[in-house]
């Protein structure tokens, strides 16, 4: 049973560029959350998607946007990249029935030069 799959695993961008990160949730899960983890810190909540809609959003600027598809997979888009956007981006999935526990992917490590 595949867990949460994220792609790409690593990528390098330059300031001002745009990036798209992808996430496939664990089988049976319908809710996807995105977290940003800067080096040496705990993850911070970006937003959560359920039924293709953004259900909750953390304290992140509008440069961060997302999408959820009918198959429950999700994308995180970041526009006008800043050096401070360099981080590990973690996707987590859960099911409405078992909403207590999030299953995380291994993350996409973004470096902005």
Partner 1 sequence: AQKITQTQPGMFVQEKEAVTLDCTYDTSDPSYGLFWYKQPSSGEMIFLIYQGSYDQQNATEGRYSLNFQKARKSANLVISASQLGDSAMYFCAMRPGLGTGRRALTFGSGTRLQVQP
- Which residues contact partner 1 (rule: CB under 8 A)? 31, 33, 35, 40-45, 48, 55-56, 58, 88, 90, 92, 99-107, 109
CB of 36 to partner 1, least distance (A): 11
Sequence-separated (6 or more) residues with CB below 8 Å from residue 11: 19, 108, 109, 110, 111
CB of 16 to partner 1, least distance (A): 26
**How many other C-beta atoms can be found within 10 angstroms of the C-beta atom of residue 18?**
11
By beta-carbon proximity to partner 1, the closer residue of 80 and 106 is 106
What are the phi and psi torsion angles at 19 (to 5°)?
A: -140, 145
CB of 27 to partner 1, least distance (A): 16
Token pair belonging to 7? 């792609």
By beta-carbon proximity to partner 1, the closer residue of 14 and 111 is 111
CB of 77 to partner 1, least distance (A): 19
Token pair belonging to 67? 């999408």
By beta-carbon proximity to partner 1, the closer residue of 55 and 63 is 55
By beta-carbon proximity to partner 1, the closer residue of 20 and 45 is 45
Sequence-separated (6 or more) residues with CB below 8 Å from residue 26: 1, 2, 3, 4, 93, 103
């Amino acid at each position: 049973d595949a867990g949460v799959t994220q792609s790409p695993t690593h990528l390098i961008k330059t300031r001002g560029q745009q990036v798209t990160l992808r996430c496939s949730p664990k089988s049976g899960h319908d809710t996807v959350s995105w977290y940003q983890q800067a080096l040496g810190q705990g993850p911070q909540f970006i937003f959560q998607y359920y039924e293709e809609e953004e259900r909750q959003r953390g304290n992140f600027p509008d440069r961060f946007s997302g999408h959820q598809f009918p198959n429950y997979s999700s994308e995180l888009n970041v526009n006008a990249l800043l050096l401070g956007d360099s981080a590990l981006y973690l996707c987590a999935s859960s099911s409405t029935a078992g909403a207590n526990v999030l299953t995380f992917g291994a993350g996409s490590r973004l470096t902005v030069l």
